[in-house]
Amino acid sequence: MVTGCSPQSHYIEDIQYLQAMGFDYIDGEVQANGTTTIFMPVAESLPQSETINVSREDLEDLYSHMQAESSRYVDTSRSRVHLFHQDLAANEGIFGVIDTIQRNPMINQNLKIAMTRGPTKDILNEEYPFHLTVHEYLVELIELNQAEQLPIVDFQDFLYQYYAEGADPFLPLLEKAQNRVDVVGIALFKEDKYIEELSLDKTHVFRKLIDETEEGTINIDIDESRGFALHHLSSSPDWTIKQDADGIYVKVNVNIQGPLREARNINVSKPATIQQLEELAARDFEKQMEEIVHFFQENEIDPIGIGERIGQKVRNFDIKRWEKEEYPNLNVDINVNFTIENTGAVV
């Protein structure tokens, strides 16, 4: 009787862990691919990978169909990465899949998600040098790039921006190259549908508007022969929102500082030159940031979450109406303070 009441037990050697999932959109049908890991009972043997593909229209019985493809128990609790094909994101939207994940308490919610240009199947089926499994490779790729150049966004952030009225979600955009995967920028969403993309260079600037960052590189050309580059840039944005009789005034102060690592044909020993360079870099950033904000306004998306920020400052604020009527013509006052901390180990 006791065994009859106890829950099912599974042995680790018998479990196939579903660790990376990809969702493709082929001929109008959603197709799901899962990469699984099997821990072998042999000592000192490496875990092995296998990819299962199932095509299902409705996602609810996706997992049972995954099970049908495997003789081992397929366990979903350890999934780490979910990828979405661009076509799926553009045509159907990805919230259907996202909702299935958040509804299931057996799935770890600490997930990375990303959008891919090509079919996710190609990415998940590939073997990557120096990496044991595909999911490890993808997680490390996304995490490292988020430290270096992508805005930090995972499963929870996507949900936050999806539910927020005054913000729109974005995801890292990946593309398959030979035997590696490249990060090519971010994919911008309206609700859960893919709208536009932002190139990696612009993403770099964009994240300085929303996150406090510690790492990053910037290269500025003055003319053909002269230019300079800075590494380990740290930055912090400071948004000010004021409401007066004329309407709502939005301003952002971005402080960026970092050491100079490369100076081509510039004498950086003089403080006056450094000041000029700082000024130059600040203007360059301001111009780029303004371009990005305009780009968002043209597409009527708000990945920065300006509406959300205003909603937190202004009482009884109708975000929906504001996003529709006033956001496209909003004037955002961008001000960058740039500090070059030092010029490296040589004068």
Partner 1 sequence: MHPEAKVTKQVSPFFAFFIVTVMQVGVGIFTLPRTMIVDAGHDGWIAIVFSAVLVSIIIRIIYAMLNKGDTIITIQNKVFGKTLGSFISLFWVFYYSLFVLITLVAYVEILNVWIFPEVSLWVLYLICMLLAYNYTTSGFRAIIGGSLLAVLFVLPFLFFSHLPQGQLHFGSLFPIFDHSLHEMWLSTKTMTFQFLGFEILLMAYPFIKQAPRSHKWAQIGLVFSMIIYLIAFILPVIYFHERHLLTIIWPTLTLWKMEYIGMSIWLLVLLPNMAFGLWSASRVVKQTFNLSQRHSLRGVTLVIFGCALLFTTRIEIQSLSAFTNRLGFYTIFIYIPILFLLQALIIKRRRL
Total residues contacting partner 1 (rule CB under 8 A)?
A: 26
Q: Do 135 and 20 touch, CB atoms closer than 8 A?
A: yes
> Of these, 98, 124, 159, 254, which contacts partner 1 (CB under 8 A)?
159
Contact status: 256 vs partner 1 (CB under 8 A): no
Instruction: Name the minimum Å distance from CB 331 to partner 1.
Output: 22
Q: Do 18 and 79 touch, CB atoms closer than 8 A?
A: yes
Contact status: 211 vs partner 1 (CB under 8 A): yes
Closer CB to partner 1, 98 or 340, in the complex: 98
- Measure Cα distances from 210 to 133, 178, 203, 292, 303 in Å: 32, 33, 11, 12, 9
> Of these, 83, 98, 309, 330, which contacts partner 1 (CB under 8 A)?
309
Instruction: Name the minimum Å distance from CB 62 to partner 1.
Output: 17
Question: Which has the closest alpha carbon to 21: 36, 42, 40?
Answer: 36
Question: Which has the closest alpha carbon to 145: 125, 163, 164, 172?
Answer: 172
**Alpha-carbon distance 226 to 239, whole Å?**
34
Q: Which stretch binds partner 1 (CB under 8 A): 56-64, 152-160, 173-181, 194-202?
A: 152-160
Contact status: 315 vs partner 1 (CB under 8 A): yes
Closer CB to partner 1, 240 or 342, in the complex: 240
Instruction: Name the minimum Å distance from CB 63 to partner 1.
Output: 13
Contact status: 214 vs partner 1 (CB under 8 A): no
**Alpha-carbon distance 118 to 272, whole Å?**
49
> Of these, 38, 59, 152, 268, which contacts partner 1 (CB under 8 A)?
152
**Alpha-carbon distance 197 to 299, whole Å?**
11
Q: Which stretch binds partner 1 (CB under 8 A): 185-193, 227-235, 278-286, 311-319?
A: 311-319
Q: Based on C-alpha coordinates, what's the Rg of the chain? A: 24
> Of these, 217, 284, 313, 335, which contacts partner 1 (CB under 8 A)?
313
β-strands 48-55, 29-38 pairing: antiparallel
> Of these, 59, 139, 164, 200, which contacts partner 1 (CB under 8 A)?
164
Q: Which stretch binds partner 1 (CB under 8 A): 24-32, 64-72, 223-231, 305-313?
A: 305-313
**Alpha-carbon distance 66 to 45, whole Å?**
25
Closer CB to partner 1, 28 or 105, in the complex: 105
Contact status: 157 vs partner 1 (CB under 8 A): yes
**Alpha-carbon distance 259 to 231, whole Å?**
6
Instruction: Name the minimum Å distance from CB 196 to partner 1.
Output: 23
Q: Which stretch binds partner 1 (CB under 8 A): 188-196, 248-256, 313-321, 338-346?
A: 313-321
- Specify the amino acid at residue 240: T
**In this structure, is the dihedral angle defined by the CA atoms of residues 140, 143, 148 and 154, taken in order, positive or negative?**
positive
Within positions 231 to 250, which residues make up the interface with partner 1, using CB under 8 A? Answer: none
Contact status: 339 vs partner 1 (CB under 8 A): no
Instruction: Name the minimum Å distance from CB 52 to partner 1.
Output: 23
Closer CB to partner 1, 164 or 229, in the complex: 164
Look up residue 178 and give its DSSP letter. Answer: T
Task: Cite the DSSP H helix spans in the chain.
Answer: 2-5, 62-68, 86-91, 95-103, 120-125, 134-148, 155-163, 200-210, 271-298, 306-311, 319-325
Contact status: 105 vs partner 1 (CB under 8 A): yes
Structure tokens at 44: 């000192």
Contact status: 300 vs partner 1 (CB under 8 A): no
Task: Point out which residues bind partner 1 (CB under 8 A).
Answer: 5-8, 105, 109-110, 152, 156-157, 159-165, 211-212, 308-309, 312-316
